[in-house]
């Protein structure tokens, strides 16, 4: 089977997640984008790149220009996801993408390329486009809410050879920084072109290390997630303001981190903390159990030492 034929067999009958496209409700303004998980990029076969997200008991893959959701299914080891026509199995840094009912030739073996640090942008960026049109972009982590002519679209960032691409499977925000466009994802229609941001983005950073006292070596492929959260209200879920996620390649604790955030994200009179988890084979094995408060001086503070405990 040719590479094109193999990819077609794996990518056919893709289903766009209802929560991403079918259930999107245009609203006025530019709200914060959905709190999706970080993207993991896999290299499959002879150079195909497959972006994946893991959200609760499901995986979402970007295949053939579409977002496809695969629910988790029970397995003896690793993590397995299937929607009845396609199966995605991961263990450590390895992945296997299969078209169910097909031969061994329709399976792609994959390996983690990178899991990027998320760098949140301001609540909204304003773009001025040709013909007097405007686009507002509220980017947070690797998701964005794109507002055009009063309608807002929740999109995910997917890797491309150059520039940037956010898409919901129907429309897309793409292009280099000096000339982006809002267009159909799979067509030729362009709604706004030649878009330039009217103001630069300012960021600050928090640095430190994540460690534990248990005498246990981390295997390659462990996923370390460090989050900057607001903890002002004890009766409400922590609001994640920024985070960094990395996949280990044999490194051991203490593991350094750098969280990038916008200076205006920390408001006077509110309480902020840093939380961390370490996941192995898709399951959280370590997590913070005590409060690691962010110093009042924020980015100007000394590096933080974040301790995690075995998860129960």
Residue 185: alpha-carbon gap to chain centroid: 19
Tokens of 262: 């916008």
Q: How far apart are CA 90 and CA 79, in angstroms?
A: 5
DSSP helix, strand, coil percent of the chain (3-state; round to 5): 5, 50, 45
pTM assigned to the model: 0.49
DSSP annotation of 269 reads: T
Whole-angstrom CA distances from 172 to 18, 35, 175, 211, 235 are: 17, 19, 10, 40, 38
Q: How far apart are CA 155 and CA 170, in angstroms?
A: 10
Q: Going by C-beta distance under 8 Å and a sequence separation of 6 or more, which residues neighbour residue 168?
A: 16, 20, 21, 24, 67, 153, 154, 155, 156, 185
Q: Give the model confidence (pLDDT) of 125-177 as tens digits.
A: 889 999 999 998 877 656 777 889 878 787 888 877 677 888 887 889 998 87
Q: Parallel, antiparallel, or unpaired for β 66-73 and 164-167?
A: unpaired
Q: Give the model confidence (pLDDT) of 238-254 as tens digits.
A: 788 877 878 888 889 99
Mean pLDDT on 268-296: 90
Higher pLDDT, 301 or 208: 208
Tokens of 105: 């030739």
């Amino acid at each position: 089977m040719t590479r094109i034929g193999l990819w077609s067999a794996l990518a056919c009958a893709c289903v766009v997640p209802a929560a991403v496209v079918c259930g999107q409700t245009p609203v006025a303004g530019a709200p914060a984008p959905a709190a999706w998980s970080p993207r993991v990029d896999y290299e499959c076969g002879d150079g195909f790149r497959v972006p994946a997200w893991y959200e609760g008991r499901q995986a979402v893959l970007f295949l053939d220009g579409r977002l496809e959701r695969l629910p988790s299914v029970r397995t003896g080891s690793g993590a397995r996801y299937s929607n009845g026509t396609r199966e995605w199995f991961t263990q450590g840094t390895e992945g296997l993408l299969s078209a169910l009912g097909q031969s061994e030739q329709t399976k792609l073996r994959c390996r983690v390329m990178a899991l990027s640090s998320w760098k949140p942008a301001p609540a909204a960026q304003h773009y001025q486009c040709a013909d007097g049109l405007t686009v507002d972009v509220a980017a947070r982590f690797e998701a964005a809410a794109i507002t055009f002519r009063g309608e807002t679209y929740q999109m995910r960032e997917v890797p491309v050879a150059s520039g940037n691409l956010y898409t919901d499977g129907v429309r897309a925000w793409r292009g280099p920084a000096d000339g982006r466009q809002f267009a159909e994802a799979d067509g030729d229609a362009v709604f706004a072109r030649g878009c330039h941001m009217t103001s630069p983005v300012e960021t600050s950073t928090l640095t430190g290390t994540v460690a534990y006292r248990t005498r246990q070596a981390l295997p390659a492929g462990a996923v370390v997630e460090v989050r900057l959260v607001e903890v002002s209200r004890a009766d409400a879920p922590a609001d994640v303001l920024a985070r960094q996620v990395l996949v280990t390649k044999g490194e051991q604790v203490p593991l350094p981190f750098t969280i990038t955030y916008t200076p205006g994200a920390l408001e006077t009179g509110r309480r902020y903390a840093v939380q961390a988890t370490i996941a192995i084979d898709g399951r959280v094995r370590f997590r913070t159990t005590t409060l690691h408060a962010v110093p009042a001086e924020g980015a100007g503070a000394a590096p933080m030492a974040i301790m995690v405990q075995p998860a129960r």
